Amino acid sequence: MEKIKIGLDELRMLTLGAQVLIGFQFQGVFQPGFEALPAGSKLAQICGLAMLLASLCALVSPSMLHAVLENGESTPRAAAWINRGLAVALPPLALALGADVFIAVRSVYGSPWGVAAGVGVGLTALGLWTALGLVRRRRKGQDQRRMAKQRKAEETPLSHKIDHMLTEARTILPGAQALLGFQLSVVLTQAFPGLPAGSRLAHVAALLLVALTVALLMTPAAYHRSVYAGEDSPALLRLGGRLVLLSTAPLAGALALEAFVVSRKALGSLPVAAALGCGVFVVLTGVWLGYPLARRARGGSGPEGGAPGAGR
């Protein structure tokens, strides 16, 4: 049980970092100096955004699989999903960090220094987050990995399931709140009135979707205190799990709409922006909702978890 909680906390830590960088990607295109950036920097901005969204997709996915397929139980399969999500999310996160550093340094000191700084930071992050572990695992950690594979499913107390559910909500909530702050402030920038009417409408729609996401994610904690005075209840677990799962749908829609707005402003191409926005929505909803729910419909919940959806 403790291993799952630690894994979810690690996901939360990395998710917050990715979401902060996503906020920079969204907000950067509305800054006064953005229009003066070379085309290469603008393209790097959109490529970095795409990589960050891919990283975020992988970081949130294990929580959704845990909620839908394992019914909140602490199982070896849930731990494996967390490990896999981290492994998939870190390389694009490192590359996106390098892209952001390239844009910032290039705007101050020019292309050679920007390229050097971006490549240096990106490779350093990739080395520390991915390559170091791959090299060291040849000589270290064999016993621990063997123990992880042999670990049996544990009967998870209700209190731990509720803690896991609230941790899953906390994984998504800070980034959604930061995104909402960006959305509220960007309408006051000088660049916003100059956007096409369709982009302004997409931004307002995304703002409303993020507000809905934040409301859904904050409801379990408020409901827990208001109705149950902080005590454990299976009904709270079911409601909270469903709200956390449901919150990913408006969040995916908001990220897709903002990706459309930002890429249209940065690249000046409506078809490319529309394709990127649609792609983001399809991938996020497919990974966060479609895949777990499809597996559950096919009876894909683990034997340890009982009937699909029973725990939530």
Q: Write down the mean pLDDT value for the chain.
A: 86
Distance between CA 131 and CA 264 in Å, rounded?
Answer: 35
Choice between 192 and 305, residue whose per-residue pLDDT is larger: 192
Q: Per-residue pLDDT for 312 more than 70?
A: no
Mean pLDDT of 248-252: 95
Q: Where are the alpha helices (DSSP H) in 70-192?
A: 76-109, 111-126, 132-136, 142-150, 158-186
Choice between 116 and 302, residue whose per-residue pLDDT is larger: 116
In angstroms, what is the C-alpha Rg of the chain? 21
Residue from 96, 47, 75 nearest 305 by CA: 75
How does residue 303 score in pLDDT terms, banded at 50, 70 and 90? very low
How does residue 308 score in pLDDT terms, banded at 50, 70 and 90? very low
Mean pLDDT of 71-82: 83
Largest CA distance in the chain: 60
Amino acid at 131: A
57 touches 288 (CB < 8 A): yes
Q: Per-residue pLDDT for 223 more than 50?
A: yes
311, exposed or middle or buried, with CB in 10 Å at 0-12, 13-18, 19+? buried
- pLDDT of 150: 62
Q: Per-residue pLDDT for 151 more than 70?
A: no
Could you please report the per-residue DSSP string of 256-302? HHHHHHHHHHHH--HHHHHHHHHHHHHHHHIIIIIHHHHHHHTT-S-
Q: Per-residue pLDDT for 188 more than 80?
A: yes
68 touches 292 (CB < 8 A): yes
- pLDDT of 154: 67
Q: Per-residue pLDDT for 279 more than 70?
A: yes
Distances in Å between the alpha carbon of 32 and those of 29, 102, 190, 300?
8, 18, 8, 51
Q: Per-residue pLDDT for 15 more than 50?
A: yes
Mean pLDDT of 76-103: 90
2, exposed or middle or buried, with CB in 10 Å at 0-12, 13-18, 19+? exposed
Mean pLDDT of 239-262: 94
Distance between CA 76 and CA 91 in Å, rounded?
Answer: 24
How does residue 255 score in pLDDT terms, banded at 50, 70 and 90? very high
Q: Per-residue pLDDT for 249 more than 70?
A: yes
pTM of the model: 0.86
* CA–centroid distance for 47 within its chain: 16
- pLDDT of 305: 39
How does residue 187 score in pLDDT terms, banded at 50, 70 and 90? confident
Mean pLDDT of 40-64: 91
Mean pLDDT of 108-122: 93
Spell out a b/e string for 71-96, using b for 16 or more CB atoms within 10 Å of the CB, else e: bbbbbbbbbebbeebbebbbbbbbbb
Distances in Å between the alpha carbon of 50 and those of 214, 217, 225, 263?
23, 25, 38, 10
